[in-house]
Amino acid sequence: MSINFSLVLSFFIALLAILNPIGNVPIFLENVNNESNAIQKNLAKLLALTIFVISIFFYYAGQPFLNLFGITIPAFKIAGGILIMGVGMRMLHGKPKFENEGLHTQKDSNNAFREATKKLSNIIVPVAIPIFLGPGAMTTVILYSNQAKGFLTNFFMILALAAVCTIIGAILYLSRWFIKILGINGMQIVTRTMGLILCAIAVQFVINGVDQLIPNLINPEFVHNIKS
């Protein structure tokens, strides 16, 4: 039983780019800057776990959802590519909404984790959905899950998803340190680089979808549909 490591790596990079943890640090901090450091760090861990659980749902239930509405994979690839392109373009031209000043701090509490679990529901929307898991991220998860064939490949895809969510949790955990080190300009550079990668991935999705709809129209060297 073989493992499609190329697909796993592509999924990891695409998901990391579209979830854009460093670029979303300012938005996370805007929603937790009145909390203590301990609560903020626990919220980071809980938010990453929430993103993982929701992503798993779309990974396994996304295809049945498409079937329910009679949507074909080629159509979803093209529509998803256009959607992801929009996300990438916004990342290329977007501006941070956070300024690195005036962060409120307070004395850490021994019940920080308990307090964080109570406050999690307040930031699932809009931070988890739709800031992290917007339509573009959901599209990416569904499209890649459809291409994963075999138990081992799917197992490593879930590991890749877990790795991305771990990175998100770590970055949000250290979010106040990140924005101090990188500054607004540094975060702009990271966000725009991720946006460029995302735009390229979006174009590839459209190419793959068109190739499935109209075979032999596109040079096969530039098509990366998974056949088995």
pLDDT tens for residues 21-58? 988 887 788 788 778 888 999 999 999 999 999 999 99
Q: What is the mean pLDDT of residues 156-170?
A: 97
Q: How far from chain centre, in Å, is Cα 131?
A: 9
Measure Cα distances from 137 to 12, 85, 107 in Å: 12, 12, 36
As given in the structure block, the two tokens for residue 86 are 């929009």
Q: Which residues, other chains included, contact 27 with Cβ-Cβ below 8 Å and sequence gap of 6+? A: 97, 98, 126, 127, 131
Q: What is the mean pLDDT of residues 98-110?
A: 47
Percent over 90 (pLDDT), the chain: 30
What distance in Å separates the CA atoms of residue 72 and residue 87, rounded to the nearest whole number? 22
**Model pLDDT, residue 104:** 45
**Model pLDDT, residue 6:** 93
Q: Is the pLDDT of residue 181 over 90?
A: no
Q: Is the pLDDT of residue 91 over 70?
A: yes
Q: Single out the residue of 160, 20, 176 nearest to residue 98, CA to CA.
A: 176
Q: Which residues, other chains included, contact 11 with Cβ-Cβ below 8 Å and sequence gap of 6+? A: 140, 144, 148, 157, 160, 161
Q: What is the largest CA-CA distance in the chain?
A: 65
Q: Confidence class of residue 94 from pLDDT cuts 50, 70 and 90?
A: low
**Model pLDDT, residue 151:** 93
Q: Look at the pTM and tell me if it is higher than 0.85.
A: no
**Model pLDDT, residue 77:** 80
* Mean per-residue pLDDT of the chain: 83
DSSP H helix total and E strand total for the chain? 8, 0
Is 184 within 8 Å of 99 (Cβ atoms)? yes
Q: Is the pLDDT of residue 224 over 70?
A: no
Q: Which one is predicted more confidently, 142 or 216?
A: 142
Helix (H) / strand (E) element for 180: namely helix 175-213
**Model pLDDT, residue 110:** 55
2-13 pLDDT per residue, tens: 889 999 999 999
What distance in Å separates the CA atoms of residue 52 and residue 48, rounded to the nearest whole number? 6
Q: Confidence class of residue 106 from pLDDT cuts 50, 70 and 90?
A: very low
Q: Is the pLDDT of residue 97 over 70?
A: no
